[in-house]
Amino acid sequence: MRIRDFVDSLDLSDRQSARMNCPVCRSKNTFTAYNDGGSIIYNCYKLSCTVSGMYFTDMCAAEISMRLSKVQPVEPDEPQTMEIPEHLVKPREEHKKFWKFINKWNIQPDLLMYDIVQDRVVFPIFYKGRIIDAIGRAVGLTRVPKWLRYTGVADYYLIGSTTSIVIVEDILSAIIVNQEVPGLSAMAILGTSLTDKQMGKLGEMTKVGVALDPDAMYKTLQYKREIEAWTGIPTVAIKLDDDLKYRKSEDIQKVKELCS
């Protein structure tokens, strides 16, 4: 079977992706294919396999109409105010794990809370001045999951109020980017895929960058394509040398260029 015939048989809809065993080298779960508005991109990640490529298909009128409809602004729902559990408290001096985490990453403790039951530094998420959700970062040695959602209501974590924005891997990276580059907003999407509400917010921006961790470059490129398709805003895929939370000067300089 020709590789194109195989990819065609997957019948991928617009912005749909698939991951499976490679039809050529037979390596397990190394083959990916993605439909980017009629551009079919496929690749095998096994180093010894040379299968990769791109080709174009025609979009029907219904697909074009659906794609254009997604660039319309999305009216946000009014999320309920989060009821703060008793074990989420204002950090005190005796909460050593909280302060060790804060000092390690050199971030401000303002507005943060501490989960005294689960040993988590808690980052509240605000909507119109109200706390609607929170994300807890484990600081205990064996606590899982590392990041915990308390309500699941929020669509994203956003810090900053500028119209230049970068999408990052997690809340900690967002805070550090905002500290290092005050003219840049940062968004952590709190999931593994982009939603219409996140796209609606990104559609308000003038410059967008995607700067995920170095081992997520494929996802970085996928997000770039999706954002451009949904919003029409030119989007930059930023290739990092390390996680942004480590404040490497070369990586910080790359995201600074979004402000120029």
Closest by alpha carbon to 35, among 69, 52, 10? 10
Q: Is residue 191 one of the residues assigned to a domain?
A: yes
Is 76 in contact with 54 (CB distance < 8 Å)? Answer: no
The residue out of 69, 102, 123 marking a domain boundary is: 69
pLDDT of amino acid 98: 97
* Alpha-carbon gap, residue 92 to 112, rounded angstroms: 11
Q: Encode the chain (260 residues) as per-residue pLDDT tens digits.
A: 578 888 888 888 777 888 888 888 888 888 888 887 777 888 887 778 888 888 777 555 444 455 545 544 445 568 899 999 999 999 999 999 999 999 999 999 999 999 999 999 999 999 989 999 999 999 977 778 899 999 999 999 999 999 999 999 999 999 999 999 988 999 999 988 888 889 989 999 999 999 999 999 999 999 999 998 888 888 999 999 999 999 999 999 999 998 77
pLDDT of amino acid 65: 52
Tokens of 253: 């300089």
Is 239 in contact with 251 (CB distance < 8 Å)? Answer: no
Q: Is residue 130 one of the residues assigned to a domain?
A: yes
* Alpha-carbon gap, residue 207 to 166, rounded angstroms: 8
Q: Is residue 65 one of the residues assigned to a domain?
A: yes
Shared domain check, 136 and 64: no
Q: Is residue 80 one of the residues assigned to a domain?
A: no
Shared domain check, 225 and 177: yes
Q: Which residue matches tokens 């924005």?
A: 165
Q: Is residue 95 one of the residues assigned to a domain?
A: yes
**pTM (two decimals):** 0.70
pLDDT of amino acid 26: 85
pLDDT of amino acid 74: 47
Shared domain check, 255 and 165: yes
pLDDT of amino acid 58: 59
Q: Is residue 79 one of the residues assigned to a domain?
A: no
Domain that holds residue 33: 3-69
* Single-letter code of the amino acid located at 130: R
Count of structural domains, the chain: 3
